[in-house]
Every structure is written in C-alpha cells, then in structure tokens.
Amino acid sequence: ADSLALLALRQSAIDSVALVRSALAGRAELLRARALHASGRAPDARAAAGRAATALANGYGPRHAWTRWARGLIDSTHVASRE
C-alpha cells in the first residue's frame, strides 16, 4: 500500500505547491500514513499524516472528514510511540 500511495503522490504533485494545497496529494499522503502506521512505523506515519492534514485542510477544508482523520492519525501515532 505504501508504494501505491507514493505513486499516487507523485502523480498528484503537478507543481511545488500541489503537495500542500491539493486534496488529492493529501489523500495519497493519508493512505501512505495509514500503511506506515499499520507496519509499525509510527514516526514516519506521523510525518505523512501531518503532510496529509495540511494538504487536506487546504484542499477540502479543516472540518472535512479526511482532514479530521489525518489529524486523528497524528494523535494516535503520538500515543503509539509512547507505549
């Protein structure tokens, strides 16, 4: 899943600002964050979820379900890294 998410991310990176403003890039980062989290790579998952939250908030808005999901994943990886 991580490699598919990276492929989607590359396709959505039309220009330099697309990675932080594109909802599609945010969705790809969220998919990558979920895959990294599932494989036990909490710090990498947290970083990907942070990038996802930024792009999704810019693309869909801060209250959109996927934006909230990305922020929730950031919080859950903080908890997982402390255990």
The pLDDT of residue 24: 84
Flag whether pLDDT at 11 surpasses 70.
no
Phi, psi of 22 (to 5 degrees): -90, 125
**Mean pLDDT, range 49-69, rounded to an integer:** 95
Q: What is the pTM of this model?
A: 0.75
